[in-house]
Amino acid sequence: MRVDPTSGLVEGARYVPSPNQDERPAGVEPELVVVHGISLPPGELGGPWIDHLFTNRLDPEAHPYFREIADLRVSAHLLIRRDGELVQYVPIHRRARHAGVSRWRGREAVNDFSIGVELEGTDELPYEEVQYRRLAELVRALAELYPKITRDRIAGHSEVAPDRKTDPGPAFDWERLRSLLREG
């Protein structure tokens, strides 16, 4: 896996451009990967809904829960689906709106200096082995482009926004990810 340094796109990812992005602050490069978990509607896997949410096309009438979130203007850089498919919404060098009000190691505004990676899943449902492998490949590719990204610079959404978020949840096996990163 490779990240094109000019376009910020990950080789092999399906690109679905999100309007919910902008420039990072001047002189700021990614140095943290934030791991998220997402399912839309909550607890349901598959379907087009994540793409629709991140591209502001979520139909509030398609599901009762969507009425609550249809006006959100959020995004992530990438999504890893249950089957390992990689979907990219925001070029890596740009700022995605994935962490919200957040803090990491005393530093506010995590979106400014992080890359948001969504894993299709829930807090309680074990993630798929292919998702861990794809995430490890992705972290290695990101670290090649941005040397500040290391094994100790990967955090869950719950770590950067602990009062608001629980994902990727207790079902996420951090030791499995660390093991795969050590192998690489």
CA distance 20 to 94: 10
Q: Which residue in this structure is represented by tokens 């979520």?
A: 58
Region of 8 (left: φ > 0; alpha: ψ -120 to 50; beta: rest) is left
Residues 155, 31 contacting (CB under 8 angstroms): no
What is the 8-class DSSP label of residue 3?
A: B
How far, in Å, CA of 28 to CA of 107, rounded? 13
* Token reading at 48: 């087009």
| Residues designated catalytic | 118
Whether pTM exceeds 0.95: yes
- Percent of the chain clearing pLDDT 70 (strictly above): 100
What is the pLDDT at residue 179? 96
Distance CA 89, CA 14 (A): 9
CATH class of 14-183: alpha beta
72-94: average pLDDT: 98
Angle between helices 174-183 and 129-145 (to 10 degrees): 50
Average pLDDT over residues 37-66: 97
What are the domain boundaries of the chain?
Answer: 14-183
Number of helices (H), then strands (E), belonging to the chain: the values are 5, 10
Region 37-61 average pLDDT: 97
pLDDT at 142 over 90: yes
Q: Mean of the pLDDT values across residues 106-123?
A: 97
Asked whether residue 184 carries a pLDDT value surpassing 80, the answer given is no
- Please name the residue that has the structure tokens 């809904």: 49
